[in-house]
Amino acid sequence: MRKISLRYRIIGFILLGLLLVLGIAVLRLDSAIAHNLRSAIATSLGVPVRIERLHYNILNGQLDVERLTLDNPEGFTTPYFMSATGLMLRAKPASFFTQTTELESFQIRGIDFNIEQQLTKNNLLIIFGNARQQRKGNLQANLLDRGKKFLLERAIVDNVTSHLNLAAFPATKPLSLDLPPVSTLELNNVTPENIGGVVLSDLVDRVVSGIVKTAIAKSQASMPQGILRILENSPLWEELKRELNTKNG
């Protein structure tokens, strides 16, 4: 009995050791993915990125992110440019380790973003300008097959709220506006099939700019006429509309 007991004890220690090693490996994988995601977003948009929690399920290929925050460029007072309560994407598990990953599902919930104007600078225009400068490098990487690629047909975004904070405005004091919320929006054909996938920083640019452009367009359609007339008299609004009308290639 002692021999049997000792044998089971040894097996138990071995299994415990394997579970510990597996747990450490999963934590390291989650940490590496979080680092790569933060780096790709920061590279694409030129702002710091914070991730509260990230977990990748290696068995079903699902990646879950809790509280993703894109900070403002320096010099702005709103707490962040964009924040998401959660993000979920899924692909075939093995495809994450191949050259091109086709994302089968991509969902974002609880988006909140701030457009802030301070005198002669605007946070959205700065961030979109950073992304535009990065697109040339993204295009070269896409064409030359440099780095890992991603394919995404459709993204679903739930519960989008947006705010305008305008300091340089034809009024006596700064104006803060909450745009009409958007319950659900869809981004279709995020990565066109003819380019065979895009690098992660390009995917980030396409998703973030798509969310902002689509949300503002939907909000504008239900915006009270009084607010819309005020905005239409602002030079900033014209500049924003020109930027929002640009398309990714």
Q: How many independent structural domains does the chain possess?
A: 1
The reply to whether 135 falls in a domain is: yes
Give the pLDDT band (50/70/90) at residue 220: confident
Q: Is residue 82 predicted with pLDDT exceeding 90? A: yes
The reply to whether 38 falls in a domain is: yes
The reply to whether 6 falls in a domain is: yes
The reply to whether 122 falls in a domain is: yes
What is the pLDDT, as a whole number, of residue 24? 47
Low-confidence winner among 19-23, 141-145, 193-197 (lowest mean pLDDT): 19-23
pLDDT, tens only, 227-246: 666 666 665 666 666 666 66
pLDDT, tens only, 84-101: 999 999 988 777 778 888
The reply to whether 79 falls in a domain is: yes
Distance of CA 78 to the CA centre of its chain: 18
Is the model more confident about 216 or about 109? 109
The reply to whether 249 falls in a domain is: no
What is the pLDDT, as a whole number, of residue 231? 64
The reply to whether 66 falls in a domain is: yes
Q: Is residue 176 predicted with pLDDT exceeding 90? A: no
The reply to whether 84 falls in a domain is: yes
Domain extent for 127: 2-244
Arithmetic mean of pLDDT, 126-140: 79
